[in-house]
Amino acid sequence: MDTESENTAPPQNDKIKVILIDDSSVIRGALSRILTTDPDIEIIGSVSNGEMGVTQARLKQPDIIILDVEMPVMDGITALPKIMEVSPKTKVIMCSTLTAKGADVTIKALSLGAVDSIVKPSSSTETGPGSDFQRDLLALLKNLTRRRKPGIRPAPATGASAQTPSSALADKSEIILRNDPNAYKGKPAIIAIGSSTGGPQALFKVLKNFSGFDIPIVITQHMPATFTKILADHIGQQTGINTHEGEDGMLVENGNIYVAPGGKHMLFEKKADGLHIKTDDGPQENFCKPAVDPMYRSLLDIYGTKMLGIILTGMGHDGLAGAKMLVEKGGRLIAQDEETSVVWGMPGAVAETGLCSAILPIEEIGPWVRKAMML
């Protein structure tokens, strides 16, 4: 049953406050059953269209809204900017069907400020106790609302050095930047980007600076199949750079962008006529497929020190193992800073291990790379 309380005072507790906006009572019920299993989460609203959702957001100021894409009265893409206006601290997760239309609207929403997306479950068995859907959804909410502890915010020390990665920094309030005099400092031969939660919006901001590059750019963004093809299309539209979803056997050309296909790892192999993509349907790594680590390992075998790695916003630590290998070979790695990351999991993992040559706000990453390209 839809709730539309006029109580203007948000609940005063430390629980994660969530509003569900979906025209399907079945989906709202499935999500509710999952969220109520966690004592740290409280559902403070459940409504059936975007117009009601905007009102709920204004009145209750939730931490999280899970927003359907297609609804009567007001759809998700229309409601999103209104929600962000009336409740600017709320983080919006899009809930989409696994269709080209649903993916297209979802990618648009992610470019407008939604922080992540989930695919609607197709059956009750997908959402049962112990299911991957339950695990992933609860982890997503916890990561999106994790309160930073006092004194933990990193203060990059430009003059500091870490010749080799440190496995345990004594003071996590100070991030040690890598300043290896033997590291490669020339023009990179390829740029390899890893991203997850919050990644699409971050990618758009970074890649708009890459026009005119004469090297390939390859990306692993944690997304399901269908979504990665739409993401590639949107990157091409927003940047003007030829962008492709990677396919098995595809020739990699300079000045082009390649996005790992959802559900497969994107690897590379060198042949007589150039670099080719090799998709791999092997097991997940770091609970992900595609994953950043297999891509990094594959590229390091070909490019070694001339690979430039970039780790953007995302949950977990995918990319950390590959980044360590990159740094050990003498290559360069940069990461998005905590302040501009939706979730400082992946970039935080490489930053706190002393692997990064630079840790930058998202708007400064593109200019840093352009300088590295000597353009």
For residue 155 the two structure tokens come to 């203060």
Q: State which amino acid sits at residue 55.
A: T
Q: Which residues contact 80 (CB under 8 A, 6 or more apart)?
A: 67, 92, 109, 112, 113, 114
Give dist(CA 14, CA 68) in Å, integer: 26
DSSP secondary structure string, 30-86?
A: HHHHHHTTSTTEEEEEEESSHHHHHHHHHHH--SEEEEESS-SSS-HHHHHHHHHHH
pLDDT of res. 127: 75
Please name every residue paired with 360 in a beta bridge, in sequence order, or none if there are none. 336
Please name every residue paired with 258 in a beta bridge, in sequence order, or none if there are none. 218, 244
Q: State whether residue 307 is helix, strand or coil.
A: strand
Encode pLDDT of 47-93 as tens digits: 999 999 999 999 999 999 999 999 999 999 999 999 999 999 999 99
Of 131, 71, 59, nearest in space to 95 by CA? 71
Which single residue is written with the structure tokens 């948000």?
A: 10
Q: Are strands 265-271 and 274-280 parallel, antiparallel or unpaired?
A: antiparallel
Encode pLDDT of 272-308 as tens digits: 999 999 999 999 999 999 999 999 999 999 999 999 9
CATH 3.40.50.300 fits 16-144, yes or no: no
pTM more than 0.85: yes
Sign of the CA dihedral running 259, 114, 151, 367: positive
Q: How confident is the model at residue 131 (pLDDT cuts 50, 70, 90)?
A: confident
Report, as residue numbers or ranges, the catalytic residues: 196, 222, 318
Examine the pLDDT at 250 and tell me if it is beyond 50.
yes
CA distances from 182 to 177, 178, 297, 353 (A): 15, 11, 21, 19
Give dist(CA 71, CA 121) in Å, integer: 17
Q: How confident is the model at residue 183 (pLDDT cuts 50, 70, 90)?
A: confident
Give dist(CA 28, CA 240) in Å, integer: 39
Q: Name the segment(s) of the chain with CATH classification 3.40.50.2300.
A: 16-144
Q: Are strands 307-311 and 91-96 parallel, antiparallel or unpaired?
A: unpaired
Of 321, 354, 325, nearest in space to 335 by CA? 354
pLDDT of res. 125: 62
Crossing angle of helices 227-239 and 199-207, rounded to 10°: 30
Q: Hey, what CATH class is 190-372 in?
A: alpha beta
Q: How confident is the model at residue 147 (pLDDT cuts 50, 70, 90)?
A: low
Give dist(CA 144, CA 61) in Å, integer: 15
Q: Name the segment(s) of the chain with CATH classification 3.40.50.180.
A: 190-372
Give dist(CA 363, CA 45) in Å, integer: 35
CB < 8 Å & 24+ apart, contacts of 370-373: 370/209, 370/210, 372/187, 372/188, 372/308, 372/332, 373/187, 373/188, 373/213, 373/215
CA distances from 312 to 34, 119, 218, 372 (A): 29, 22, 13, 18
